Structure 1
């Protein structure tokens, strides 16, 4: 991506963990400053079909629009937008992104050159079976996650508008499984092996169900046309798509959906308005479990500081998550930090199997 931008407000306790995770894995993340949103700003979102948007969702909405406008102020053609609770594996930059991007480019190339056919499943399940193991690929394969010189790194920007590199696997997603399968069967899709995937017990249950339904081995990832991509914590976006969203959903605009949250806006654009959206299963980027910023914003101010930070197990779908306590080193410990960076970039995972706390959220 040309740039990576994170949505995070000035008082967020998650920033330190996000920036440390990016530092360990060699990823350049920028956190655009947000204005001090006023009641007038919030009211400007609650217009027309969006009049029921709550305070927390309105703040998140404004934060995403702010990040998209920052992206549009740059010369870049693509961006990755993160929320500050995003979590990823230590192999994201060294192997996962190059593999996923190559598979998507191959999918687009195959779909564009194949002859037309009445059979909608003609490109489905381009399986490459392999034996799963837990060793990480060599760090020599490192490829920058940002690349302003190659806007087509994830495939031609005319072939996609939004890439969901992570999304929430909710109960609703399970209920929509049949429609999701129909969507996948009627569009090109592809699978590819990835040795950095965790064992079966750490794959999200809803993701596991979908992959089982498609006979995709849990040692592989699947690219498919999006149907129920709920979540806004990790999405790639083209410049043209970002401009469309800003035009449709900025303050005072009613947009083309009746969504009451920004992540639902993305879902409805992909599901109901035929945007060129693609989802990766399992996703490369997860969302660790900690009190929701939207929920905190909706609390009385006196209660916000009292909200407990939950202890969690590793984030779903990640073998060695960067936001877990075992990888945290205090900011003043320069030697310890450099040592941890060296270990992570060698592909070592210092985490154990105990319950660990999230980093940078408390």
Structure 2
């Protein structure tokens, strides 16, 4: 049985109080009562806030690690799109070894100008660049290879992908549970890890989900929580905090009112980037058809395989579902990528500063791009990293990357290195600490007021005694 990770979105936590300031009163008795009243109110607030906090915690059954996905993440195979002699394969295989994934790499041809011109001659405009067409043809060739097997499903993975070392042990099992909940599937049924292929065509696990076409606004002020109807939210504290996400992703999550450390499975909107997507036999054949992605399919002036997939999802030719934020993301800064983005799509200075600060791939909590988790030929280090990945915790590499100090690496994976519920425990602990400080201050103020009251009482008694003597 798989634990019920998929659930309705939890309530947000209310903001903790910053404490109370108590002034010295003229009339001490009412103020003492007021101070005690405030203390009682604070205790009631704190207890109620703790009750809200408890809704964020998994149930007793879900505190255990979910059953990990198999070595192909529950699909028939993981198939990489990787050109011959690709320099990106080393990073792909290092990450696959740590997370113990089996990745199949079909042989692709070295595309020539003649191949590209033949593709253009059928339907492609002359404005389509060589890298775009080469990537398009590579995806088609991999899908053809998939259909040549007897596999029912497969995840197609571009070879410049990065992912969290807990993808197999935590992230994918939680996403699969959410998908099953959407379609009311059970783990015991056939095709049990994911809903039956008759219910879906494409599952996007790696993408750049903009929720709008390029040039259109998205995020706060555009999307609304009601846009998530038909979606399934699930807790995933392996996500980076919002301040370490791309600004547009953080803005979309905020606009949709998705709580922190939560992913959503939803009907696809504009899932740009065919970085990691699952298909079945029916959908693979559909993508290869003239309706969607063949060389004879209709194309835009400057088109790409990513765009034709988005159009097919929007037009209902493919039934597409997206895990948002994504689990797989392409590594930035790879000049040898199959598709070099034009200048208008290059990262802004703000995004570059974010990447330099975290040292991580966009949206990844503790991945492989920084080099911290590379093991080289060290088998003992590989086994240590595998053990951490199996247990769902990230481990800090003893030998740091040459460009990073120990402190930078420790900060880089701080949340990931801690136990699974570190952030929630810390939040509760911080609130408890603030409550303790506030109550101690109230107690000190109450003692001060009590001393003042006694001193006033003594002065009053002395005054009345003196008054009687005078009279």
Q: Would you tell me which structure has more helix in proportion to its own residues? A: 2
For residues 70-89 of structure 1, the aligned pairs below 5 Å read 70-89=145-164
CA distance in 1, matches of 2:214, 2:165: 27
SS at 1:165 equivalent: strand
Contact 1:77 1:151 in 2 (8 A): no
SS at 1:233 equivalent: strand
1:151 aligns with one of 191, 194, 203:
191
Contact 1:234 1:285 in 2 (8 A): yes
SS at 1:209 equivalent: helix
Contact 1:208 1:218 in 2 (8 A): no
Unaligned stretches of 5+ residues in structure 2: 1-74, 343-354, 398-405, 411-471
CA distance in 2, matches of 1:261, 1:324: 29
Q: What are the superposed Cα offsets for residues 235-261 of structure 1, whole Å, 9 maximum, x if unpaired? A: 111111111112338997321443611
Q: What TM-score does the superposition give when structure 1 sets the normalisation length? A: 0.75
For residues 115-130 of structure 1, the aligned pairs below 5 Å read none
Question: Quick check: 1:3 aligned with 2:46?
Answer: no
Alignment size in residue pairs = 307
Contact 1:162 1:236 in 2 (8 A): yes
Superposition RMSD on alpha carbons, in Å?
A: 3.2
Contact 2:106 2:142 in 1 (8 A): yes
Moved over 4 A (4+): 169-174, 178-184, 249-252, 295-298
Unaligned stretches of 5+ residues in structure 1: 111-142, 144-148, 299-309, 357-362
Cα distance change, pair 31–291 in 1 and its aligned pair in 2 (3 A): same
Question: Match for residue 102 of structure 2?
Answer: 28
Q: Which has the larger radius of gyration?
A: 2
SS at 2:206 equivalent: coil
CA distance in 2, matches of 1:173, 1:251: 20
RCO higher in structure (CA 8 A, sep ≥6): 1
Contact 1:5 1:29 in 2 (8 A): yes
CA distance in 1, matches of 2:261, 2:215: 21
Question: Match for residue 387 of structure 2?
Answer: 342
Which shifted more, 195-204 or 14-23?
195-204
Cα distance change, pair 315–296 in 1 and its aligned pair in 2 (3 A): closer
Q: CA deviation at 1:329?
A: 2.0
Cα distance change, pair 228–251 in 1 and its aligned pair in 2 (3 A): closer
Cα distance change, pair 251–280 in 1 and its aligned pair in 2 (3 A): closer
CA distance in 1, matches of 2:198, 2:226: 20
Question: Match for residue 371 of structure 2?
Answer: 325
CA distance in 1, matches of 2:291, 2:107: 20
Question: Match for residue 296 of structure 2?
Answer: 254
CA distance in 1, matches of 2:218, 2:270: 9
CA distance in 2, matches of 1:72, 1:156: 18
Question: Quick check: 1:39 aligned with 2:81?
Answer: no
2:267 aligns with one of 225, 246, 260:
225
Question: Match for residue 271 of structure 1?
Answer: 314
Q: CA deviation at 1:169?
A: 4.8
Q: What are the superposed Cα offsets for residues 225-281 of structure 1, whole Å, 9 maximum, x if unpaired? A: 111110011111111111111233899732144361111111111123452111111
CA distance in 1, matches of 2:387, 2:290: 45
SS at 1:278 equivalent: strand
Q: CA deviation at 1:84?
A: 0.8
